[in-house]
Amino acid sequence: MSRNFRLSSLLRARQVQEDVAKSAVSRASTAKETARRAAAAGEAALRATSPPPAGTANAVVAAIAAQRAMAAGLAAAWQVAQASDEHHAERLDELAVAATRRRAVERLAERHAEDVQRADLAAEQRAIDEIAARYPIEVGGLG
């Protein structure tokens, strides 16, 4: 039995893939929180606006147009936040797949290590048995 695990390079590659997936989850999480904060800030700004003051028709129309523009921007911000949530969920799924793939190769490595240890113990036992067969112990003492 080979003492070296033949899939050790694959295991390292799977570990790297998992690390890359973890990094992607971290970036997606940051983007998600940033998008949610931006949407919440836009919502707070829209709520802080007051109805258009009485005045000229042009001023009222301009104030209403500004509020509508803010509302449209808020809707876009919430769409970005929702897209960020979906992107984060996708990255989490990719991380789960990468971790599963790494764990599968890791289990093979563990099984290989157990097989090597079992083979070593069997070889040691054979050596002990051979020594015992060469030098029989006399029953009943030395003389």
- State how far Cα 1 lies from the chain centre: 35
Predicted confidence at residue 107, as pLDDT, reads: 96
Residues 103, 105, 111, 117, CA torsion sign? negative
Tens digits of per-residue pLDDT, 32-86?
A: 999 999 999 999 988 888 777 677 888 888 888 888 999 999 999 999 999 999 9
Nearest CA-CA partner of 29 in 96, 81, 102, 78: 81
Question: What stretches of the chain show up as alpha helix (H) in DSSP?
Answer: 8-48, 57-134
Mean pLDDT in the chain?
90
